[in-house]
Structure formats: C-alpha cells, structure tokens
Chain A
Amino acid sequence: MFIALPFHTGAIVGGTVALVVVLLALWGLRFKEAA
C-alpha cells in the first residue's frame, strides 16, 4: 500500500511513467545534432 493505493495500481502507473521518462531520455541521448 502506498498513499492508500493498492500496490499493483501504484506499480503499474508509476512504472509506466518511469518507462516513458527513460525512453524520452534515451531519445535525447541518442539524438544526433546536425554538424
């Protein structure tokens, strides 16, 4: 239980947000700036 939320709800929602942030950070790191 986290903030009175079932564990699976917190894990699914929190995990999705974390995944999105990681993917967008990877996009930024791999982006090739034009010379």
Chain B
Amino acid sequence: MADLITLALIVLYFVVLIGIGSWASKKIKNTEDYILAGRSLGFWVFTILIVCSICSGMTLLGVSGFGYTSGWPGIWEQIFVPLAASFCIIFFGVKLNAIGKTRGYLTIQDYLAERFESPRALRGLSAIAGIVVSLIYLVGQYAAISIVLVWLFNIPHWQALLIAGVIITAYTVVGGLYAVSWTTLFQGGILILGVLLMAPPVIMSAGGLDHINTVIAGIDPNFVEPWFPSPAYASYAYATPEFLVSFGILLMVGLACAPHVINNVLAAKEARYFKWAPLVAFLIYAVVMFLVKFTGFAVRSLVEEGTIVLPDAVNAQDFAFIVGVENAMPNVALWALFAVIVLAAVMSTTDRLMLTVGTSFAWDVYKNILRPSATDREVLLVSKVTIILGAGGTLLLAINPPEMLAWLIWMGIGVMLATFAVPLLAGLYWRGATGEGAIASMAVGLVAAGIFGYYSKFVGSLPVHFSLYALVLSAVAMVVASLMTAKNSAEILDNTRTGWFIQSPGQPSRKTSPGDAWRVDQDSPRQQ
C-alpha cells in the first residue's frame, strides 16, 4: 500500500512533530512550563487542544465504523462528543482556570486535594485512578495507530506500534505540554482540513446522501430512524432511547472529566477564552464528526451494492473509513495525505494521555506524596521516565489488539465518568461535599465501573451503558458519606469558589468588599 509519496509525507510529518518537540524543549524552565506550558495557551491552541484531546482514534475509525454498523441511530454520538468539549470548558474550565491561577494548581489533583482537604489520600487515589484510566485509553489509541500503519505499510503489528510509540514518546518527553499543544494545533489543522477534503468524495462516490440513505434503509428501515426500538432486537441495534440517554451522559460528561481533557483548562492563558471557546469547539468538532459518520453510511451503502468489500477481520467496521477513501481516491498524493490525517487524529490524543500519565505520577504521587523534598529537576526527570515506561507498557498490551477498538475506548470513558464526574461536579458546585464523600464516590465509581463493565461484556447485556450504574452508585456514595461527615471549612470552600454558580456567586458568603469575594491572599497550598 505504501508508495514513495506516502512514505515521504509521513516521514515529513514525523519530522515536523519532532521539530516542534525540540523547539518546545527550549521553552521549558520548570515544572509549570512542562505540565501546563507556562499557562500560556492562546485561544486557538487551547480550543484545538481540548477538541483534539477528545478527538481520538475513535473519531475517524470508530465513528465511521459505528456509522457503518448502526446507521442514523448512532448519530447522537456526533452531538454528544463535541458537547463534551463545551461541557468541559463551561462547567469545569471557567472555575478551575480561575482557581488554578490564584492557587497555583498544576493538576486537577491539586484542586481535589485542597477542595476536599485531603492532600494525600484523595490526591493519591485520584492520581492513580487517572493513570489507570489513561493507560486503558492509551491501549485503544495504540491499537488504532497500528491499524493505520499496518494497513499502509503492510508491516508487522509490533513494528507499527514501535514506530508510532517512539515518535510520540520522543516529542512528549522532551517538550511537555508545550510540545503536545503545538503539535496538536498542527495535527488538528491537518485533521480538520483533511476530513473536509476527504469525506465529501467518499460520500459522493456512494451516490450522495440521498442515495446512501435509500440503500441503508433497504438493509434495515431503522437505519434511517433517530433510534432503534426498545428492546434491542439485534446486536447492532443497541442505540435504543434508554441506551442513548446513558450514552449521552457517558460521552458528554465522561470525556469532559477525563484527566487528559480537563487538565487542559488549567493551561489557558486568559479567562475570556471561555466566552466563545464552547461554541467554536462544538462547531469545529461537530462538522468533522458528522462528515466522518456519513462516510460510515457511505461505505455501508457501497458494500451493500457490492462495490467494495471490507477486510475479513473481527473489527472489519473499523476499516470503513480507510476502505471508503481508498475506493474514492485513486490520486496517490491525496491518499498519502489521508494517512497523515488518521495518524494526526490518533496521535494528538495519545501524546496528551502519555503526558497526563507522566505528570500525574511525577507531580501528584512522587512530589506530593512520596518525596515532598524533590527538586523541580527531579520531578521533571521522574515525569519523563514515567512517560517512557507508560508508553512501553501500553505498547506491549496493544500488541494483542482488542476485539473491537470502540469497545475498549468506551470502557475507558466509562471508567473516567464513574470515577471523576461526581467528585469534580460535587466539589465545584455543592458546598456539602466532603473529603470522605469524594474518596467514597471515587472508589465506589472505579470498582463499580469495573464490575458492570465486565458484566456487560462477558455475562449479559444491560439496557443502558454500564457506566451509568457505576455513576449512580458513585453519586449515592458521595451524598451518603458527605452527609455523615463534617463539612469542609468555609474558608476552603470560598477559596475554591465552591457553590451553585459558574462565574460568580449571587451573594458573597464572606465579609469582603463587593467583587472581591474570591480574592485569595494565602500562599499556594501545594507543597513546594
């Protein structure tokens, strides 16, 4: 499959990534530069970083695959996933960015540790949970990368993984969030332009949406309905109304509170970005997602008409976009560009996940729990070593590819939702939430997600996504444990802007001058 132009373009693409990493490495003077790019991200870098941290291997491969298997009832994914970016910016970003600047937070664990007055237990639990879910998610990402490289170059699976792993690890290790954010801007631009260029020809090659919808309605009339009837009558017909509700919560809230996504809000330079970033992120992402979904419909139509055949693989639907483009694009130059687009989508999430794993361990576990006296230099070194070890471990796991790429990634998102949504939302918006409540909800959510996830995969199907059960149990644990334990101090609650508001409280709860209710005079709470 690979020819000289494809190879040259991919090598050039990798060289640019390494170049950005090298440039970024010169900007890093301390841990804050490495973890948060010195809180210097401008509007577009920040917005595209949020979008591309969410936009993963699933966006191109899984989304078109889901479109291929389920038709229009799966279209809600194209609304919920872009909404995750908006949800993250509005419900987490506005508050956390402001508190993060005044209190000097480097990670979300810094926030949780202060808000719940639990500098070790909750910080440790949330950091380890974040690392575990990021690693799960990483395996899915690497599997997606290898699908592309194996198919492009016809090389062994492990070689494909090694090439991608080494390159991503290299620029992430040397450049931290500076490298990740700027490579993401570069990759995001390629991804957006690429999908705008590639998807329409695939849709046109299948005869246009009109014809595609007529063909897929012939396969199953419910393929052109907004959802499948309940209960599900076939394995592909699981997008029933009740499932879609849990699916919406899973994608919108679960992705928004995923550690590799939410940590980005701390790095935005100015609070005013939060004004239009939610709309801009949604629009950009939704256009890309809808187009990719339509290619899934198009390929199903082409397969039904016998024009193309998908590979004989368990996860054949994940090849829908690739095969669709191959069919529609005989032009080699465009074809090479497509390879880069798919890699861009996957790698822009992978690098952010790896950085999250490295910084969570180095800053939250090593510096703030194991060795508080560690110097900046030491923390940076530990972070880099962790990224390398994390990459190695997940690459090894990815050598045995998952049965279905999308399922593995969904498992990751489900665990993120059940583990982080309740402590974060309750912490920011409910003054009654306590440290014990946060620890209970996080632990219950993590364990319940594992149990329900296992059940739904290997024992029997559930009417709604497994994560919803775990989320409900996590919320119950938060409420019960919080009501049974003493509230956090009013000073801490005020310092962390806790309450039922997003931008500013109706009534300042402390005796301060108007507009000065949240000014913080104390030193940063994090351990130095």
Contacts and interface: CB of A to CB of B under 8 A. Distances in A.
B213 A31 contact: no
Given A4-B209, A4-B211, A21-B283, A31 B226 contact: no
B79 interface: yes
Given A4-B213, A13-B226, A17-B286, A28 B72 contact: no
Interface in A1-33: 3-6, 8-9, 12-13, 16-17, 20-21, 24-25, 27-28, 31-33
5 contacts: A5-B224, A20-B86, A21-B282, A31-B275, A32-B504
B504 A24 contact: no
Would you list the 10 A-B pairs with minimal beta carbon distance, nearest first? A4-B213, A24-B279, A31-B275, A3-B209, A4-B214, A12-B226, A4-B210, A28-B276, A9-B226, A33-B272
B154 interface: no
Contact of B79 (A6, A17, A31): A17
A34 B283 contact: no
Interface string B286-307: 1000000000000000000000
A27 B279 contact: yes
A3 B278 CA distance: 29
B316 interface: no
A9 B315 CA distance: 28
Given A20-B79, A27-B90, A5 B279 contact: no
B224 A9 contact: yes
Contacts of B275: 28, 31, 33
A4 B72 CA distance: 12
A12 B224 CA distance: 12
Contacts of B209: 3-4
A33 B274 CA distance: 9
B319 to A, nearest CB: 25
Interface of B: 72, 75, 79, 83, 86, 90, 208-214, 217, 224-226, 271-272, 274-276, 278-279, 282-283, 286, 503-504
Contacts of A20: 79, 83, 86, 282
Interface residues of A, number: 20
A16 B79 contact: yes
Contacts of B79: 13, 16-17, 20
B72 A5 contact: yes
B221 to A, nearest CB: 9
Contacts of A12: 226
Nearest to B294: A3
Given A3-B213, A28-B275, 20 more contacts: A3-B209, A3-B210, A4-B209, A4-B211, A4-B212, A5-B72, A12-B226, A13-B75, A13-B79, A13-B226, A17-B286, A20-B282, A25-B279, A27-B90, A27-B279, A31-B274, A32-B503, A33-B271, A33-B275, A34-B272
A6 B224 contact: yes
B213 A13 contact: no
Contacts of A8: 226
B501 to A, nearest CB: 12
Given A28-B276, A28-B278, A34-B271, A4 B226 contact: no
Contacts of A33: 271-272, 275
Contacts of A16: 79
A11 to B, nearest CB: 9
A24 B224 contact: no
Contacts of B286: 17
Contacts of B504: 32
A12 B244 CA distance: 14
B497 to A, nearest CB: 13
A30 B237 CA distance: 40
A6 B217 CA distance: 10
B212 to A, nearest CB: 8
Contacts of B211: 4
Contacts of B83: 20
A25 B283 CA distance: 11
A3 B217 CA distance: 12
